[in-house]
Structure 1
Amino acid sequence: MPNLIVKLYSVFFKYQQKHLLQTLSLSSLTDQKPTNSFGVSSRPHESIAASNPSFTDGVATKDIHVDPISSLSLRIFLPDTAITSPLPSTHDYGGYLPTPGTFHRKLPVMLQFHGGGFVSGSNESVGNDAFCRRIAKLCDVIVVAVGYRLAPETKYPGAFEDGFKVLNWLAKQANLAACGRLDSQSHIFDSFGASMVEPWLAAHGDPSRCVLLGVSSGANIADYVAREAVEAGKRLDPVKVVAQILMFPFFIGSTPTHSEIKLSSSYFYDKTMCMLAWKLFLPKEEFNLDHPAANPLIAGRQPPLKCMPPTLTVVAEHDFMRDRAIAYSEELRKVNVDAPLLDYKDGVHEFATLDVLLQTPQARLLISIILFCCCPPNAIGSHRTFLNYLVLKTLRASVFASQFSLVCGHSRTVLLGEQGMIANLMNSRVTLFGSYSRLHMRVQLLLRKLPALKMQILPCWCLAGNGIDSAPDLSESEEVLGSELKALNLLVKGT
């Protein structure tokens, strides 16, 4: 069961959120004005964190307004690991500005969509800022937090269109940056004389490694953007969506699942609040719990599931929407999409992103799992195998058994030795999970012992750690593997 702090905060959160939903419902009934196309991207009650283009706590942030006819905005989080040379003591505008004509380290780009039931939340809120800052720093990625338009001011499909508009904007930025690199002396300006190229993304963003991350209602947006990206194909070049992460998806349907019945009055978001949010988001004439925005498993939805990118789904034990997210993950695995499912015991809806719960061990552990999703595809071999190495069964013999289980089909898993090392044999590839300092040593030794496996060396970090361990020490003898080699040999012979 969740602890007392979670329970008390849930009571406060539900009271505040229900009051907001009821207020918005009344205002939408009395206000006869047409839908506001400009919209709003935050509520007055939200606590907003200021952006800072200098590297505070190892991450620099800036806000961008990308659409002059709507409130759509972005907050970019750039980790200091992208900087390969010492920073000057001063900058023209008080923050980091990449130097033209020099080498810049490229990082994956993650589009993040916040939660809030489509009616609240903000990409600039204190909780979302801290969450994105942590992901950027620990996962070594550029996070672009999307401030999409909220309901009921902007009904469906406003928020969904905003998400895909940002992906198109990212493609435009990549192409403009490429044009600028053809002639280092040339600059691209808009009609107002301002540079159209976002310097952080132009210098450090790798659009061919784009990951979508959505939280709660943001997961619905991320899934929509992934589908649109599949259908767009090469029209988005050089942007490639290599994976998506759906955290506590806001999925629902007309036929109740077991969790929707059993957990209808669950912590934080319950069924009553969910129904109010969907009524505010969907146009009255389109309201249907099997609407494509609400139910990902309705028949005839395009594109086919087999075309979807690798998808990590995160669910919590005490989230009433969990079963439909699990069903979606299962359907993806049935058509051979890499779709691991991360199920947190004693977890509640949005436990990893709510400001009060950000420092819990569960939230920290989840960031470490997300870190694996941000490994460069060229270290794995192809985009199709982007999440294959997250193929863990329930770790009953490890210290994490009571915290989460990670499930994926078509896998074989063995627990090796006293160190809790995990080896997965899948498609002639072995992946070891453990501390960074021991991983490369083990892989090198195993490559010499078992060359027939043709293993790929994957970057890997300690699940319980808050960063990267010390550099690999390959001086240890082969005896250090001990029972691991024997167990791995048995595993290989059994295939």
Structure 2
Amino acid sequence: MTRLKAAVITAVTRSTRRRDGTINRTLLAALVWKAKPSPKPIKGISTTDHTVDASRGLWVRLFSPAAVQPGTAIPIIVYFHGGGFAYHSASTLAYDALCRRIAGSAHARVVSVEYRLAPEHRFPAAYDDGFDALRWIDDADVRFSSVFLAGDSAGGNIAHHVARRAVAEKETLRRVRVNGVVEIQPFFGGEEATASELRLDGRVPFGSRESYEWLWRTFLPAGSSLDGKWSNVFGPGSDSGSEDWTDFPATMVIIGGLDLLQDRQRMYCEGIRGRGVEVTAVEYPNAFHGFFVFTELPEAKKMTIDIADFVRTHFSPACS
């Protein structure tokens, strides 16, 4: 049943890709289920939508545990959904459900970011929107004990780069300091295929190097190398190795044993660990890319527990 569901999702995304590199958004909207905000708690979590910048359609969905009083300081997890920079939304049913589960398990408020999508909005739109979501939290009338960045696939990539910017531009943020980063199967790439990409290409759910390269082409500026730091953090076309990594927050990376991108994720872990970053790599041997939206899988439940443990270990008791 899980593989059938994955096949349907793959068929939906592929059917909306046009030959000219654009996406049929009208068809996509008709095929993908969305969840409305629910101020009345569902499974103990209420949700409300908040505009960050109406001029560019930037908004966030706030997930709040109902048992927590509005003025109480608890961790905030800023979440960036996956979809190769081109698909999904903070209101996509699967992501609404995922953020609800994370908020409940971690006993935290989750801020899910509706960032702009490629190819209509290419690099660096998603990164700019992610950082501006932090600015919104910085200015919002909400107390928090600590701030975490999290995301899956492309969202994990965004979480990394927003964290880098949050450290580099910390003087522009009054209250927000990132305590930790959670990257769920982060979307990294490169010009030369890795062993896991060659071994698993086309053989596992959501496992197509051709699709991944198509998504990178829709996001990066035309002619960009996949070995640049935005896709390949420590690649041959990157200057990340010579950059200052002081104060980059503790990072948790979730890796699936059936994910094409697992080798790149391990190389990323090695790279930031070598720069003095505290790294927690969690491996699920039987997990394919995007496994966490399939709630029937035991790894999906374990992931929310592992994220909650990471947040509890790294949160700051100080209130803002």
Normalised by the size of structure 2, how large is the TM-score?
0.91
Tell me the equivalent position of 1:36: none
Q: What SS does the aligned partner of 1:105 have?
A: coil
Tell me the equivalent position of 1:170: 137
In the alignment, the residues of structure 2 paired with residue 379 and residue 13 of structure 1 have an alpha-carbon distance, to the nearest angstrom, of: 39
Residue 172 (structure 2) pairs with residue 267 (structure 1): no
Q: What SS does the aligned partner of 2:56 have?
A: coil
Tell me the equivalent position of 2:99: 132
In the alignment, the residues of structure 2 paired with residue 28 and residue 127 of structure 1 have an alpha-carbon distance, to the nearest angstrom, of: 24
Equivalent residues, number: 313
Query: CA offsets per residue over residues 260-281 of structure 1, 9 Å max, x none?
Result: 2112223214101101111111
Shift of 1:380: 8.8
The answer on whether the counterparts of 2:146 and 2:315 sit within 8 Å (CA) in structure 1 is: no
The answer on whether the counterparts of 2:80 and 2:152 sit within 8 Å (CA) in structure 1 is: yes
Tell me the equivalent position of 1:209: 146
In the alignment, the residues of structure 1 paired with residue 198 and residue 185 of structure 2 have an alpha-carbon distance, to the nearest angstrom, of: 17
Gaps of 5+ in 1: 32-38, 84-97, 99-103, 178-201, 382-495
* CA 291–335 in structure 1, closer or farther in 2 if over 3 Å, else same: closer
Query: CA offsets per residue over residues 120-159 of structure 1, 9 Å max, x none?
Result: 1110111001100011111100000001111111111111
Tell me the equivalent position of 2:254: 314
Shift of 1:27: 6.0
Tell me the equivalent position of 2:162: 225
* CA 379–243 in structure 1, closer or farther in 2 if over 3 Å, else same: closer
* CA 56–276 in structure 1, closer or farther in 2 if over 3 Å, else same: same
The answer on whether the counterparts of 1:231 and 1:303 sit within 8 Å (CA) in structure 2 is: no
Q: What SS does the aligned partner of 1:346 have?
A: strand
User: What is the aligned counterpart of 1:80 among 57, 66, 76?
Assistant: 66
User: What is the aligned counterpart of 2:88 among 99, 115, 121?
Assistant: 121
* CA 378–305 in structure 1, closer or farther in 2 if over 3 Å, else same: closer
Query: CA offsets per residue over residues 24-69 of structure 1, 9 Å max, x none?
Result: x42649x9xxxxxxx99x8443211111112222111001121021
Larger RCO (CA under 8 A, 6+ residues apart): 2
The answer on whether the counterparts of 1:315 and 1:342 sit within 8 Å (CA) in structure 2 is: yes
* Letter of the structure 1 residue corresponding to residue 219 of structure 2: F
Tell me the equivalent position of 2:227: 290
Residue 175 (structure 2) pairs with residue 235 (structure 1): no
The answer on whether the counterparts of 1:43 and 1:121 sit within 8 Å (CA) in structure 2 is: no
Tell me the equivalent position of 1:348: 288
Q: What SS does the aligned partner of 2:90 have?
A: coil
Tell me the equivalent position of 2:194: 257
The answer on whether the counterparts of 1:14 and 1:269 sit within 8 Å (CA) in structure 2 is: no
* CA 225–44 in structure 1, closer or farther in 2 if over 3 Å, else same: farther
Shift of 1:18: 1.9
User: What is the aligned counterpart of 1:61 among 44, 47, 53?
Assistant: 47
* CA 13–55 in structure 1, closer or farther in 2 if over 3 Å, else same: closer
Superposition map of 1:163-202 within 5 A: 163-173=130-140, 177=141, 202=142
The structure in which a higher percent of residues are strand is 2
Cα RMSD between the aligned structures? 2.4
Shift of 1:237: 2.4
Larger Rg: 1
In the alignment, the residues of structure 2 paired with residue 82 and residue 359 of structure 1 have an alpha-carbon distance, to the nearest angstrom, of: 28
In the alignment, the residues of structure 2 paired with residue 11 and residue 260 of structure 1 have an alpha-carbon distance, to the nearest angstrom, of: 19
* Letter of the structure 2 residue corresponding to residue 26 of structure 1: D
Identity score, percent: 29
User: What is the aligned counterpart of 2:20 among 1, 10, 26?
Assistant: 26
* CA 329–27 in structure 1, closer or farther in 2 if over 3 Å, else same: closer
The answer on whether the counterparts of 1:77 and 1:142 sit within 8 Å (CA) in structure 2 is: yes
In the alignment, the residues of structure 2 paired with residue 9 and residue 223 of structure 1 have an alpha-carbon distance, to the nearest angstrom, of: 29
Superposition map of 1:258-407 within 5 A: 258-265=195-202, 266-285=204-223, 287-298=224-235, 299-301=238-240, 303-352=243-292, 354=293, 357-375=294-312, 377=314
Shift of 1:12: 2.3
In the alignment, the residues of structure 1 paired with residue 314 and residue 217 of structure 2 have an alpha-carbon distance, to the nearest angstrom, of: 40
The answer on whether the counterparts of 2:12 and 2:31 sit within 8 Å (CA) in structure 1 is: no
In the alignment, the residues of structure 1 paired with residue 29 and residue 248 of structure 2 have an alpha-carbon distance, to the nearest angstrom, of: 33
* CA 162–360 in structure 1, closer or farther in 2 if over 3 Å, else same: same
Superposition map of 1:39-54 within 5 A: 43-54=29-40
* CA 296–378 in structure 1, closer or farther in 2 if over 3 Å, else same: closer
Gaps of 5+ in 2: none
Q: What SS does the aligned partner of 2:94 have?
A: helix
The answer on whether the counterparts of 2:179 and 2:316 sit within 8 Å (CA) in structure 1 is: no
User: What is the aligned counterpart of 1:112 among 79, 89, 94?
Assistant: 79
Q: What SS does the aligned partner of 1:155 have?
A: coil
Of residues 110-119 and 261-270 in structure 1, the stretch that sits farther from structure 2 once superposed is 261-270
In the alignment, the residues of structure 1 paired with residue 273 and residue 178 of structure 2 have an alpha-carbon distance, to the nearest angstrom, of: 18
